[in-house]
Each structure stands twice: as structure tokens, then as C-alpha cells.
């Protein structure tokens, strides 16, 4: 199965971000003919202000971002994993992934479970829970015969979520992200490779890249999106610029890794 990860530089303009996403999906599909295309976290609106986030909130299914992804999935006959967008549900906002199948039907919706409430060592303050409600459900869907698990960004730091997705049968786990430059340079690759090795799945980690501003403060995302195989090997890696990467997933290889080191049968604690 061919997969394509799109690395974007989203900022605080919904209109410009949707145009960037549309152009990126069109050129990614034309270049790679991938079966599964993945966008990054908060591709519709990143940074800005609390009011800006509320205004950019997308109501499902009638909002522009939802319709755009639906029509692109259908036009190209691809599975489109919509990174995440700001979802507005009544008064609440969520950081939400929506996935469409090649007919343009919604097949999954995942709300980010672990919200990034952190003061980074460089002093940058992140308070996602001031804006977003927390997701409560573990979500998987199917691409052809393969189960795909959903996660978003900070979720990467919580192996217990990945263990649950693995127990649910996932062969692929997706992590759209806006992982910070500050934390990413030290932690991103290790986290992606660790989660892939522990769960013996393909991990598709699609990051934002470049600068944006949050309440007038400068912020930067790390880029370096990557596809990691079940052995922990990086199959494809982006640099620190916008664009896309492609990789072919080999499920015979996945089965071999699981047969060689059958950790899924050897769990003793907490299973």
C-alpha cells in the first residue's frame, strides 16, 4: 500500500490554509498515486487567537474544510486522513481528525485525547485545554484489509494509547502533528520509532513545519514528517520544508517482524 504524508505550514488564515491543503493534496496525489494520503494536525488553522480559533471552527458536515476533504477523496478515489481541524460542536471546540474513503464517505472521526498543556523549556506556553475539549474514544478504521489507528501529536507520548490501538488490531497508526521545533529536535524521531517498534505497526507521522504565531508570540514546528516501519526503520523522512513524502507499506514484512519477535503474544502485565 502506497502512503503519502503532506507536510504543511499552516497559520491563522482558514482561507489560505484550505488553499494550501487543496494544492498540496492535488500535487501529492498526482506525484505519488498513493492509496492513503495524510494531512498534518490543525491544517485548517494553527496559532492565532482564541477568538480566531472559534471563528475557524468547522461544523460537521456542512463546513468548508469537511466538504473540501470529502470532494478531494472522491475526485481522486483515495483514502484521505484529514490530519486534524478545529471542530465546533455546539459551544465546544475539539481538535479532530476526519477520514474519508475513496467514495467521499466519512469513515472515522477522532478527537485528540491528550491535550498539550505544557510550558516548554524555552518558556513557550501551550494551553490546549483552554480551547479544546478532550476526546474520549479510541478510534480505528479500515483501509482495504488493514486496521488503521488514530492519534494526534502529543498522543505520541502516551504508549498506553498506542497499546490500545495495537490491541484493537492496528497495522498502521497515524499521528498528524504540530510538534514544536524545541521538543521535536530531541524527541520526535525517538517517539515515532519507539511507538512503531513497541506496537510493531507502521507509524505515519505527519508534521507541520515552519513558523506561525500564537497570541502574537512566535512559534515554530519541527517538520521531519516520517514513515516508520514495524522494525523501527525510517522508510521516508521529510526535511524542514513544506512538501510530501511517500512510502510503500509491506504487510508481509510486518507479519515477519511479528513472527520473529512475537511481543504481542508475550505481554504479561496489563493485557
Q: What is the spatial distance between Cα 70 and Cα 137, in angstroms, rounded to a whole number? A: 23
Give the chain's count of helices (H) and strands (E): 7, 18
Q: CB-wise, 143 or 205, nearer to ligand LQR7VSFR?
A: 205
Size of the site for ligand LQR7VSFR (CB under 6 A): 8
261: helix, strand or coil: coil
Strands 79-81 and 36-38: parallel
Asked if 157 interacts with ligand LQR7VSFR (CB under 6 A), we say yes
Strands 146-150 and 172-177: parallel
Place of cell 506556553: 125
105: helix, strand or coil: coil
Q: Count the Cβ atoms, other than its own, within 10 Å of residue 106.
A: 17
220: helix, strand or coil: strand
- Of the candidate spans 30-38, 100-108, 151-159, 244-252, the one that interacts with ligand LQR7VSFR by CB under 6 A turns out to be 151-159
153 is catalytic: yes
- Of the candidate spans 6-14, 149-157, 165-173, 261-269, the one that interacts with ligand LQR7VSFR by CB under 6 A turns out to be 149-157
Asked if 178 interacts with ligand LQR7VSFR (CB under 6 A), we say yes
Which string of b and e fits 164-193 if b means at least 16 CB within 10 Å? ebbeeebbbbbbbbbbbbbbbeebbbebbb
Residues 6 or more apart in contact with residue 108 via CB below 8 angstroms: 97, 98, 99, 139, 140, 141, 148, 150
Helix, strand, coil share (%) of the chain residues, nearest 5: 35, 35, 35
16 is catalytic: no
Site string for ligand LQR7VSFR, 54-93 (x = CB under 6 A): ----------------------------------------
Q: What is the spatial distance between Cα 165 and Cα 191, in angstroms, rounded to a whole number? A: 16
Q: CB-wise, 202 or 212, nearer to ligand LQR7VSFR?
A: 212
Question: Is the Cβ–Cβ distance between 55 and 44 less than 8 Å?
Answer: no
Site residues for ligand LQR7VSFR, 91-130, by CB under 6 A, read: 116
Q: CB-wise, 153 or 254, nearer to ligand LQR7VSFR?
A: 153
Q: How far is the CB of 265 from ligand LQR7VSFR (least distance, A)?
A: 31
4 is catalytic: no
What burial class does residue 13 get, using C-beta atoms within 10 Å of its C-beta: 0-12 exposed, 13-18 middle, 19+ buried?
Answer: middle
- Of the candidate spans 10-18, 32-40, 67-75, 172-180, the one that interacts with ligand LQR7VSFR by CB under 6 A turns out to be 172-180
Task: Choose the catalytic residue: 4, 112, 150, 192.
Answer: 112
Asked if 209 interacts with ligand LQR7VSFR (CB under 6 A), we say no
Q: How far is the CB of 153 from ligand LQR7VSFR (least distance, A)?
A: 4
Position of minimal CB gap to ligand LQR7VSFR: 183
Q: How far is the CB of 126 from ligand LQR7VSFR (least distance, A)?
A: 7
Q: Which residues are catalytic?
A: 41, 112, 153
Question: What are the residues binding ligand LQR7VSFR (CB under 6 A)?
Answer: 116, 153-154, 157, 178-180, 183
Amino acid at each position: 500500500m502506497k502512503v503519502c504524508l503532506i507536510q504543511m505550514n499552516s497559520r491563522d488564515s482558514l482561507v489560505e490554509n484550505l488553499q494550501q491543503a487543496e494544492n498540496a493534496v492535488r500535487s501529492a496525489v498526482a506525484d505519488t498515486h498513493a492509496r492513503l494520503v495524510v494531512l498534518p494536525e490543525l491544517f485548517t488553522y494553527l496559532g492565532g487567537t482564541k477568538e480566531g480559533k472559534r471563528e475557524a471552527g468547522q461544523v460537521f458536515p456542512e463546513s468548508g474544510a469537511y466538504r473540501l476533504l470529502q470532494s478531494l477523496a472522491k475526485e481522486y478515489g483515495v483514502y484521505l486522513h484529514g490530519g486534524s481541524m478545529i471542530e465546533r460542536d455546539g459551544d465546544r471546540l475539539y481538535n479532530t481528525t476526519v477520514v474519508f474513503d475513496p467514495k467521499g464517505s466519512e469513515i472515522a472521526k477522532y478527537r485528540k485525547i491528550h491535550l498539550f498543556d505544557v510550558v516548554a523549556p524555552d518558556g513557550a506556553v501551550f494551553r490546549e485545554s483552554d480551547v479544546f475539549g478532550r476526546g474520549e474514544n479510541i478510534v480505528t478504521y479500515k483501509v482495504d484489509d488493514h486496521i488503521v489507528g488514530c492519534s494526534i501529536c502529543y498522543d505520541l507520548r502516551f504508549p498506553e494509547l498506542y497499546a490500545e490501538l495495537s490491541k484493537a488490531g492496528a497495522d498502521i497508526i497515524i499521528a498528524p502533528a504540530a510538534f514544536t521545533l524545541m521538543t521535536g529536535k530531541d524527541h520526535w524521531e525517538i517517539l515515532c520509532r519507539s511507538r512503531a517498534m513497541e506496537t510493531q505497526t507502521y507509524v505515519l507521522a505527519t508534521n507541520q513545519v515552519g513558523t506561525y504565531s500564537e497570541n502574537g508570540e512566535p512559534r515554530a514546528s519541527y517538520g521531519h514528517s516520517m514513515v516508520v516501519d514495524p522494525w523501527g526503520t525510517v522508510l521516508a523522512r521529510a526535511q524542514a520544508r513544506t512538501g510530501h513524502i511517500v512510502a510503500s507499506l509491506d504487510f508481509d514484512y510486518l507479519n515477519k517482524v511479528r513472527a520473529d519477535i512475537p511481543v504481542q503474544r508475550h505481554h504479561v502485565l496489563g493485557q
